[in-house]
Structure 1
Amino acid sequence: MTILLLILFALAAFGSIVTWMNTQLIIRDIAEIKKKLGIEEIKKPSFLDKDLDND
């Protein structure tokens, strides 16, 4: 039973990584399309912009 749970967890982790990579690919494609259409990027302010780790 434990081995089955480990396999399921590994598959879930692998699936989430693949999904994240696919999302990043789609975001890059959309940015390229927007650039070709002449749509400028609007950057919304975020609380993460003021993160202390961004030196």
Structure 2
Amino acid sequence: MALAIQGAAAPARDRDAFPDELIVRRELAVNFVRYNPGFQTLASVEPWARRTIGEHV
């Protein structure tokens, strides 16, 4: 995916930032699941996100 994005019709700044964002966000997600036993519940969601979800249900 990181190699494919280099040929995309997107601004160079966005193409250059993508690989770093891809790796960092993946690692954050893996760590969240690994170290948060309640990751499958809404209790693990930030309060602002729970409020937003509540506004759309």
Range into which the TM-score falls when normalised by the shorter chain: 0.3 to 0.5
Higher relative CO (CA 8 A, sep ≥ 6), structure 1 or 2? 2
Question: Could you state the TM-score of these two structures normalised by the residue count of structure 1?
Answer: 0.47
Instruction: Give the number of the structure whose alpha-carbon radius of gyration is greater.
Output: 1
